[in-house]
Amino acid sequence: MKRDYPHLCEPITINRTVFRHRMVSAPLGATDITPVGSPGPRTQGFYEARAKGGAASVTVSELVVHPATDGSQMLKLSLETPGQLAAFTYVADAIKRHGAVPSIELSHSGQYAGTYMVDKEKKKTLGQFGPSEGVRPDGLPVIPLDKDQIAQIVAAYANAATLAKRCGFGMVMVHAGHSWLLNQFLSPYFNRRTDEYGGSLENRMRITREVLMAVREAVGPYFPLELRISGSEFLEGGYDLAEGVRIAQGLEELVDIIHVSAGSYQFGFTITHPSMFKPHGLNVPLAAEIKKHVKVPVATVGALSDPAQMEGIVAQGEADIVVIGRALLADPEIPNKVMANRGEDVVKCLRCFVCMAERPVTQTRRCAVNPLIGRESEGLEVPVAGAKKNVLVVGGGIAGMKAATTAALRGHRVTLCEKSAELGGILKTEKAIPFKYDMYLLGQTYARMCDQMGVDIRLNTPVDAAWVDDFAPDALIVAPGSRPLKPPIAGIDRANALSVNELYLEGIKSGNEVVILGGGLTGCECALHLTLEGSTCHLVEMRSELAPDANIRHRPILLAELEAAGVDVLLNTTGKEVVADGLIVADEKGDERLILGDTVVYAVGQLSCSEEVDTLRDGAPWVRVIGDALRPANITTAIYEGYHAGLDI
């Protein structure tokens, strides 16, 4: 067959190992790690899903090589712990049996030990070791490693690689980026040593060279060895791309792949993991420049999910391999879809950080668009129903569409009714916002999936109890969504006041100066969007903080964007009355003043369409209410509830 993405689909042989194409799974943190650092059963299913989805290799992350100087709640591999070899062997087997090369990331956090611990107080009792004495930004002291400890860590890398190979892993990745220990030695910002491990670039590379040589001796000559580096630290006082090139040149003889990432842990999170406010493929130029100066294959990573973009990267010689991380959480089937010329069916990552926000809180995984993430061991296949039923779904938002597609996969006859002229629900509002456009595309993707799966889609079709009685479904899923909450203040019905939904859906021009009432996630994103469009925005919030409903990863990024854009923020301030030239507000003391604005946009929350729900509760023998119709929440909840509603019929 003729491939739509021929360069992306071309196999590559690296040190006698054949990789079936150029798409590999990035190191993704495990989901259930036992107290002794072994992968639990859900972790096995998590990595297997990426292999079954077609990735050329799947890298298990992160294997702590020297727990004595890197206390953390990550994977560890030791002969001292009974059963650990078996646990890791089962993971490697699960990856390998689907045709992917199983790899494992060898890591040491250095001064950032304890980063992923749920108990943030406990990490203060650990020893945070690094190349040089110092104090972390959070106040914890950094203990400089002595030469005996360095030698022990080098030996520990080799030992971990030996055990990984014994367990059946076909490759190892040495992590020397993102401000982890080896990067701390490479970086002039962290490394202020005056011995042979500090000073010149040659000295700063010394420990990494020692590690790579020790690992090579341990695994033998014909075993792929991947090195992950930050092409640039993007950190004042750190190294830049020019030095990143020299680091790659100085280490390439010892490795088979140079995996070029970017940034530093504490100072460049949104560069290492590009947020929705950054371009897709933000860090590809780093890999492209390094590739010009080295002979070994180069891999690139960073918010890559579009098959056409990935094809272009390989076709234009910017990188030999494309590393996919969060996008394979959203859609583990990306490689299979690319190989089958189904690129338009990819469910793209929203870069919302739900996945990364969940780990430090509960040490599990969630994904806004994939209800199975971290729960793959419960079953990846949607079971066929024993008896086909007539299923009616009311509401064409993301919850309703997910329910409809899931029920259709089970073999049911599904009818989806939407009262408006287009599917997508609240996701239709995201079309107007460039940094939220991927969310709009999610609605379009699911609308297409409904059509492909034979769902009977009926647009412009409001549904009431009489309509349902005539239809007589066997099962009814009620998902009419929510509507904007209108604040009960004077003047809210004036022509210059509108909801954020109206602003986006109706394309109303907001004027040069806008007052936004409501500083939750929606209001903040609206203020940022309008400011970037050229308006002067005043963001009014009655609470003492902005966006408390945003997840812990997205929130600080959003707040930084608001500050950089120059949005005028008024906290502890209550909207009192919309007037012709703006909004009258009151501060904590009750003192009132006028905030000038051509338009007042309210974004104070959503209300469930409970009236519609109440009329349909007795519409079928089996009824389920889902999504915002049950309670206003988020995409994650809507998709999860829609999936399980369709599964339960």
Instruction: Give me the domains of the chain, ranges plus CATH numbers.
Output: 6-125+156-176+207-377 (3.20.20.70), 390-483+607-648 (3.40.50.720), 497-604 (3.50.50.60)
Distance CA 558, CA 68 (A): 37
pLDDT digits (tens, 9 = 90+) for 422-445: 999 999 999 999 999 999 999 999
Taking alpha carbons only, the member of 53, 638, 636, 56 closest to residue 346 is: 53
At 81, the pLDDT band (50, 70, 90 cuts) reads confident
Confidence of residue 613 (pLDDT cuts 50, 70, 90): very high
Report percent pLDDT > 70 for the chain.
99
pLDDT of residue 370: 96
When pLDDT is cut at 50, 70 and 90, the band that residue 510 belongs to is confident
- Report residue 55: phi and psi, to 5°: -60, 145
Q: Answer whether residue 507 shows pLDDT above 80.
A: no
pLDDT in tens, 212-232: 999 999 999 999 999 999 999
What's the pLDDT score for residue 579?
97
Give the mean pLDDT of 581-587: 96
Band of pLDDT at residue 333, cut at 50, 70 and 90: very high
Q: What would the two tokens of residue 37 be?
A: 């650092």
Of 116-125, 135-144, 567-576, highest mean pLDDT: 567-576
Q: How many CA atoms does the CB half-sphere of 350 hold within 13 Å?
A: 23
Give me the pLDDT at residue 123, please: 66
Which of the given ranges, 123-132, 298-307, 509-518, has the highest pLDDT on average? Answer: 298-307
How many Å apart are CA 130 and CA 121, to the nearest integer? 20
Peptide bond before 358: cis, by omega within 30 degrees of 0? Answer: no
Do residues 63 and 27 touch, judged by C-beta distance below 8 A?
A: no
How sure is the predictor about 35, in pLDDT bands with cuts at 50, 70 and 90?
confident
Is pLDDT above 70 for 394?
yes
pLDDT tens for each residue of 351-361: 999 999 987 78
- Distance, in Å, from the CA atom of 430 to the CA atom of 441, rounded to the nearest integer, reads 9
- Asked whether residue 124 carries a pLDDT value surpassing 70, the answer given is no
Comparing 385 with 362, the larger pLDDT belongs to 385
pLDDT tens-digit profile of 170-200? 999 999 999 999 999 999 999 999 999 999 9
pLDDT at position 115 over 80: no
Mean pLDDT to the nearest integer, 538-554: 96
Report pLDDT for 362. 80
Distance of alpha carbon 444 from alpha carbon 414, whole angstroms: 19
Residues paired with residue 558 on neighbouring β-strands, in sequence order: none
Secondary element (H or E) of residue 25 = strand 23-29
DSSP per-residue codes, 141-192: EEEEP-HHHHHHHHHHHHHHHHHHHHTT-SEEEEEE-BTSHHHHHH-TTT--
Strands of 386-535 (E only): list them. 390-394, 413-417, 456-458, 475-478, 482-484, 497-499, 513-517
pLDDT band at 609 (very low <50, low <70, confident <90, very high): very high
Instruction: Give residue for tokens 């812990």.
Output: 552
Number of C-beta neighbours around residue 607 at 10 A: 12
Mean pLDDT of the chain: 95
Q: Backbone phi, then psi, for 253, in 5-degree steps?
A: -65, -15
**pLDDT of amino acid 125:** 67
Given a cut of 70, whether residue 323 has pLDDT beyond it is yes
